[in-house]
Amino acid sequence: MLTIALTGGIGSGKSHVAAIWAGLGAHVVDADRTARTVLGPGGSALEQVKRRWVDGVVKAEGTLNREALAAIVFQDPAERAALDAITHPAIWDAVKGKIDAALSEDPAAVIVYDVPLLFGYGREFEMMANVSIVADEEIRIERLTRSRGMSRQAARARIDSQATDAERGRICDLVISNDADRADVRAAAETAWHEWIVPFNDALMNKAWKAGTLSHAALRVNDDVGVHLERLRYRGLHAEHRVGGLIVDGPEESLLTAGWFEEGSRWRLANPALDMTAQRRDSLSA
Query: Is residue 170 a contact partner of residue 229, using CB atoms and an 8 Å limit?
Result: no
In the CATH scheme, what is the code of domain 2-219?
3.40.50.300
Mean local confidence (pLDDT), 171-200: 97
pLDDT at 100: 96
What pLDDT, in 10s, does the model give residues 98-143? 999 999 999 999 999 999 989 888 899 999 999 999 999 999 999 9
Q: What residue spans define the domains of the chain?
A: 2-219, 224-283
Annotated binding residues, as ranges?
Answer: 11-16
127 vs 144: CA distance, rounded Å:
29
Annotated binding residues for ATP, as ranges?
Answer: 11-16
CA atoms within 13 A on the CB side of 233: 11
What pLDDT, in 10s, does the model give residues 2-51? 999 999 999 999 999 999 999 999 999 999 999 999 999 888 899 899 88
pLDDT at 75: 81
pLDDT at 74: 80
pLDDT at 121: 81
What pLDDT, in 10s, does the model give residues 245-275? 999 999 999 999 999 999 998 999 999 999 9
250: left (phi over 0), alpha (psi -120 to 50) or beta: left
pTM: 0.91
What pLDDT, in 10s, does the model give residues 204-218? 999 999 999 999 999
Four-point Cα dihedral 203, 206, 209, 215, nearest 10: -50
**DSSP state, residue 58:** B
| 32 to 38, 39, 76, 114: CA distances (angstroms) | 10, 10, 21, 8
> Which DSSP helix (H) or strand (E) runs through 268?
strand 266-269
Average pLDDT, the chain: 93
> Which DSSP helix (H) or strand (E) runs through 240?
strand 238-242
Percentage of residues of the chain with pLDDT beyond 70: 99
